[in-house]
Amino acid sequence: MSALRLFRPDAVLVVRGDLLDERWWDALDASRAHRVTWMYDELRRMSYGTDTLGQIGAVATYSALDAEDLKRRGVDAHHVPLGFDALEAVVPRPVRGISLIGARYPSREAVLRMLARAGLDVLAFGRDWSRHPIDVIRTGACASPGVPARRELSRGEAYGAMRDSAATLNLHGDQDGFTMRTFEAPGVGAVEICDRPEVDGLYEVGNEVLAYSSEDELVELCRRVVRDPRWADGIRARGRARTLAEHTLGHRLRRLEQLWG
């Protein structure tokens, strides 16, 4: 609130915002700044009350389901997906085979083990995958994931690891919206393999990104990107072009500007 009073902004973008109390929203009202709140998580994971959501102005959410639910409840809600940060520098990070960068969920661990059993090279990055003693102490994840793993990467390094892999996996958990990875992977020129075929609402599946519905289909896609790099390079180029044309954070901010009230 002190920054709000000091800088007197003309517009404010609140990201998530559920931990902000009434004093913040009252101060924002008093400032008369244009505002919009952008949510990158599901409502069920946040602590907003219905009354608050109806009073904070325009709400944007990455979850199409939440957007529709909020509209039915009378909230000025809009579906605005996440996007790719095209300003982040890519740090080269050669990776052999198929990469996964992100949290270690049991479902992700099962997928990587399945691919390894199928004879594919896989590599996971993240603090709870890592067997480095410091990471094991920090996370308490004593059990080995059963696949090759490395330590957590910076965003630039993660971009490089995705780009420099044969392909990178985008495996969702209990999420309604599409994660940042959905846009980051093709944005840096990686071959993205997504576990949600409905990504076809954002990209042309099979031409700009890859998606699967079964383990057999996933294995075949991974094998093809390894044995047919020319085909894979076409996926990379078209996915990157589509991302830069439609799915950067710059595109999302222009959309959010339209919602400032």
- What confidence score (pLDDT) does residue 173 get? 82
Contact in structure between 222 and 115 (CB atoms under 8 Å): yes
- What confidence score (pLDDT) does residue 135 get? 93
CA distance 109 to 23: 43
Classify burial at 162, counting beta carbons within 10 Å of its beta carbon; exposed 0-12, middle 13-18, buried 19 or more.
buried
- What confidence score (pLDDT) does residue 4 get? 87
Q: How many residues does the chain have?
A: 261
CA distance 232 to 227: 9
CA distance 25 to 229: 52
Contact in structure between 207 and 235 (CB atoms under 8 Å): yes
Q: Which residues pair with 59 in a beta bridge?
A: 37, 77
Does the predicted TM-score (pTM) go above 0.95? no
pLDDT along the chain (261 residues), means of 10: 86 93 90 94 90 91 96 95 97 96 95 98 97 93 93 97 98 92 98 97 98 98 98 98 98 94 62
Q: What angle do CA 24, 26, 29 make, to 5 degrees?
A: 110
- For residue 166, what are its two tokens? 């044969």
Contact in structure between 99 and 170 (CB atoms under 8 Å): no
Contact in structure between 210 and 231 (CB atoms under 8 Å): no
Cα→Cα distances 242→84, 112, 167, Å: 11, 28, 18
Of 220, 149, 209, 151, nearest in space to 185 by CA: 209
Return the axis-axis angle of helices 229-246 and 215-227, rounded to nearest 10°.
100
Q: Which residues pair with 169 in a beta bridge?
A: 193
The alpha carbon of residue 175 and the mean position of all alpha carbons in its chain are separated, in whole angstroms, by: 10
- What confidence score (pLDDT) does residue 261 get? 62
Domain residue ranges of the chain, discontinuous segments joined by +:
2-80, 98-246
CATH superfamily membership of 98-246: Glycogen Phosphorylase B; (3.40.50.2000)
Classify burial at 60, counting beta carbons within 10 Å of its beta carbon; exposed 0-12, middle 13-18, buried 19 or more.
buried
- What confidence score (pLDDT) does residue 204 get? 98
